[in-house]
Amino acid sequence: MDLKLLNDKKTSWIFRVIRWLVWLFSPKYQLEGTENLPDEPCVIVGNHSHMYGPIMGELYTPVRHYVWCAGEMMKREEVAAYAYRDFWSGKPKGTRWFYRILSHLITPLALCVFNNAHTIAVYHDTRLITTYRESIEKLKEGYSMVIFPECYDEHNNIVHGFQDKFIDLARFYYKKTGTELNFVPMYLAPKLKKVYYGKPIRFRADADIKTERGRICGELMDAITEIAVSLPEHTVIPYPNISARHYGKNIPLEVYQNEQAEEKTG
């Protein structure tokens, strides 16, 4: 854990203790491909892997950075409903009562962690403009953004589909600075205890924004997938909070699809 990178923001002592404990008991990651990170601020885009992604983003990103975080996890009145809906609503009906209670119990912890960590609140309504504004200010100060944009739409056995509005950050940043942002693909492999950074993908300011959303998201998902399938076989921790027995492997998609088909017919 690089304390020089983490101590540039004033935080509560309680959060510092929590962060140290998380660092102590969470996987210690080796970083590969850091030479692909530009010398200028960029947007690092990775697979979520449950909570492994945000934890790794906070503790191990090797450049000054902020992590995009669900804004609901930073608002006392919104934490419980969001946590239950996003984390545990898919649990068996007989246990959902427990997770409803748990979603309220974690509220104080969530407020402490997400309001003290290097986070920027992200919303999916009109408040999104605040996310862009704050992100642009941090980019101008030399920070990079770390974003985990997966949603529940299936894409392949490595990543789920990406929500694409985060690409607009590059459009607004270009208007403010005249600089085209780079998007760096990142693959997190908790089972290998490694993080891999791919080659940057540069925003094209002269292209239609809808085209750029599709192009950059597609190239990022392809790059993350290519990194994953090039590695030794390992379990992929997916975005959805599903049972571990349903986790897949990082095998090429066509092999994965054949295995799935055989299971259904077998």
**How much of the chain is helix, strand and coil, in % rounded to 5?**
50, 20, 35
Output 252 or 55, whichever has higher pLDDT: 55
Alpha helices by DSSP H, the chain: 3-6, 13-25, 52-60, 79-83, 96-105, 107-116, 128-140, 168-177, 209-229, 253-265
> Half-sphere exposure (CA, 13 Å, Cβ side) for 44?
33
Distance CA 70, CA 75 (A): 10
Q: What average pLDDT score do residues 221-245 get? A: 93
pLDDT at 9: 65
pLDDT at 3: 42
pLDDT of 209 > 60? The answer is yes
Distance CA 266, CA 262 (A): 6
What tens digit of pLDDT does each residue of 75-112 get?
999 999 998 988 888 778 899 999 999 999 999 999 99
pLDDT at 266: 60
pLDDT at 245: 87
pLDDT at 228: 97
Only one residue has tokens 């504004």, namely: 133
Q: Are strands 43-46 and 182-189 parallel, antiparallel or unpaired?
A: parallel
Least confident of 120-124, 196-200, 239-243: 239-243
Q: What average pLDDT score do residues 174-186 get? A: 98
- DSSP per-residue codes, 84-132: IIIIITTS-GGGHHHHHHHHHHTHHHHHHHHHHSSEEEE-SSTTHHHHH
Query: What pTM was estimated for this model as a whole?
Result: 0.90
* Residue 125, C-beta contacts closer than 8 angstroms, at least 6 positions apart: none
Residue 4 confidence class, pLDDT cut points 50, 70, 90: very low
What tens digit of pLDDT does each residue of 20-34 get?
999 999 989 999 999
Only one residue has tokens 């804004």, namely: 71
pLDDT of 71 > 80? The answer is yes
Burial class of residue 239 (count of CB atoms within 10 Å of its CB; 0-12, 13-18, 19+): buried
Residue 244 confidence class, pLDDT cut points 50, 70, 90: confident
Only one residue has tokens 């607009």, namely: 168
- Cα separation values, 257 from 188, 204, 237, 262, 265, Å: 22, 34, 18, 9, 12
Q: What average pLDDT score do residues 171-185 get? A: 98
pLDDT of 2 > 70? The answer is no
pLDDT of 226 > 60? The answer is yes
Q: What average pLDDT score do residues 245-260 get? A: 80
Q: What average pLDDT score do residues 132-150 get? A: 98
Average pLDDT, rounded, for the chain = 92
CA of residue 16 relative to chain centroid, distance: 22
- Cα separation values, 122 from 112, 128, 131, 151, Å: 17, 6, 6, 14
pLDDT at 75: 93
